[in-house]
Amino acid sequence: MKKALLITTILSLIGVMSFAQKPNNVVWSIGKADQSPNEFALAPDGFKNFVGNDFGYEDKFYLVNYSHERKDFPYVLPGIVDTWGGTYQWSGWRNNNINILFGINNQPTAGNYKLVIRLSDYAKKFLPQIKVSINNFDKFIQLSAEGYDAAKQAVASKMEPTVDSLSLMGDLSKATPKILEIPIDAGVLRKGGNIIHLTVLRGSWIMFDGITLESDKKVDVQTPGDFFIKAVKPATYEIENDGKQFQPLLINIQHLKGLPKMTVLLDDQPVFNEIVEQGNYDFEVPMPALLSPKNSTYKILENGILIQSGQVKRSKQTTQTLADYVDTRLGTAHSRWMIAPGPWMPFSMVKMSPDNQNAGWQAGYDPIYESVGTFSHIHEWTMGGLGIFASNGKLKTTIGDELHPGSGYGSRIDKRGEKAGIGLYEVMLTDYNIKAEVTATTRCGFERFTFPKDRDSSRILIDLHIPSEYDYQLKEIQLKKVSDYRIEGFAHQLTPTVWSNDADQDYTVYFVIEFDQPIKNLGAWIDDKLKSGDFF
């Protein structure tokens, strides 16, 4: 059971893992396990050409039984502190990605499966934290090394010189090889397309020796043709076309070569034909909407040849509008303070948004971070303020560091469950098991926090000095409890020389905060020092 609080505001497990019974069949492999990365692209010393060769982007991929290591798989994956990987003072932290695609002809059966990532070396000054996603399964791995402690390593700047460069330049005489074994449940793998996503969330680079998928069961891996089917699933919505309702069958396609024709059959009846051009596509294949659930079969043909078939569960869904396709996180990576997921109205007094970055250039929200520090009300150029957040457990009064989740009251989040449509931001604050929902009108911000009942406290934090792109001083503040449900106050804020020596940003934020449940007690902090309730 959980309880919800509505607020109206006016204005890693690391290391090597193994099975009791080790898999002995290599399903597929990338590279050779010879403690050398020389079979990969850019090796042995071309790391500075990583961005120039378009590696690291979301649309780049290595497709098993199609791609080639020497051309399509880089020998090194930079971390966010590596300037040669795209991070810089003016571009912000940049994370890079490696996407491995592979298709399976048969549904994997129960057995032992594991992904084995062999590293030739990795950075030590800034130890990497790796995120490995296999379809809907995520694994976080913090690398360690003798004599180094990730918790005590130096705070990186956005203009760090290249670190631990000996191996990057091709000399592995002092390298530290590492083998990472990640067990995979058979239910994670699926018939058809599968995707493995690798990224370095924190720290510096990793260098590859080889990657294998292993199993004690026979797995039949696809040999792709002119396009690759990454995923097939029924939509959780309906669309209207020519006065008729349809539940789309969503087919994600990666074009490989030529101009192939894709045909889709539903219960052996043709319902879709399309020429697949260069790029990645999410096709909405129309299935007539139903009032009662039904299982149907689909078949996908490439140039008239059957390449995939399966079952699809159809059921009644709500109608989706064009607005429902919008994801307001698009464009927020490496962006400015006033470019954020929202939600906010055009020309509104209140611009609510999650914040997850430190103060300074490009503060605010960046989707590379899997955390939220607070929800603040003002996201204008040179202006910010009034953060509100929910927590439980031990009281923390600082927001924490963007690169060290848990260092303050900010929380890690369930990134897969994060929603950022028009008018609503929603996420699970996993450190506290609190569901956060945020919306706004032209003058009001609304937040709803749903607290778990099995925690020892439930609190709302009102932070008047939050990290923003242009830091500000609090010249005068006032908060007053006017009823068990209402707090009123203001913050006089000053940012000196905001864009020139003679331009000061001097403004006052007035606010009223109302709760739908009574306030039990109040406390305050100034510069990490707790104050008693009479402060109000």
Tokens of 89: 């003072």
3-state SS assignment for residue 308: strand
- Count CA within 13 A, CB hemisphere, residue 65: 15
Give bridge partners of residue 298 from the DSSP assignment: 266, 310
Global pTM reads 0.91
Q: From start to end of 166-243, where are the E strands?
A: 178-184, 192-202, 206-215, 227-234, 239-241
Q: Mind listing the pLDDT tens digit for each residue in 382-440?
A: 999 999 999 999 999 999 999 888 899 999 999 999 999 999 999 999 999 999 999 99
Q: What DSSP character marks residue 105?
A: S
Span 10-21, mean pLDDT? Answer: 42
Alpha helix stretches (DSSP H) within 252-296: none
Q: Mind listing the pLDDT tens digit for each residue in 296-306?
A: 999 999 999 99
- The one-letter amino acid at 386: L
Q: Mind listing the pLDDT tens digit for each residue in 24-37?
A: 699 999 999 999 99
Does 268 or 6 have the greater pLDDT score? 268
Decide: residue 243, CB within 10 A, 0-12 exposed, 13-18 middle, 19+ buried: exposed
- Pairing label, strands 62-63, 97-104: parallel
Nearest-angstrom CA–CA distance, 501 and 508: 21
How much is the pLDDT for 529?
Answer: 85
Question: pLDDT-derived band of residue 533, with 50, 70 and 90 as boundaries?
Answer: low
Cα distances (Å, whole numbers) of residue 322 to 239, 244, 285, 376, 438: 9, 16, 17, 28, 21
Provide CB contacts within 8 A for 230, sequence distance 6+. 101, 193, 195, 252, 253, 254, 280
Q: Mind listing the pLDDT tens digit for each residue in 361-371?
A: 889 999 999 99
Evaluate the CA torsion angle 22, 27, 30, 32 in order and state its sign. positive
Q: Mind listing the pLDDT tens digit for each residue in 48-79?
A: 999 999 999 999 999 999 999 999 999 999 99
For residue 536, pLDDT beyond 80: no
Question: pLDDT-derived band of residue 16, with 50, 70 and 90 as boundaries?
Answer: very low
Q: Mind listing the pLDDT tens digit for each residue in 375-385?
A: 999 999 999 99
**Cα angle at 189 between 185 and 191, to 5 degrees?**
145
Nearest-angstrom CA–CA distance, 342 and 362: 16
**Cα angle at 332 between 330 and 334, to 5 degrees?**
135
Give bridge partners of residue 312 from the DSSP assignment: 296
Q: What DSSP character marks residue 167?
A: H
Decide: residue 434, CB within 10 A, 0-12 exposed, 13-18 middle, 19+ buried: buried
Nearest-angstrom CA–CA distance, 246 and 237: 9
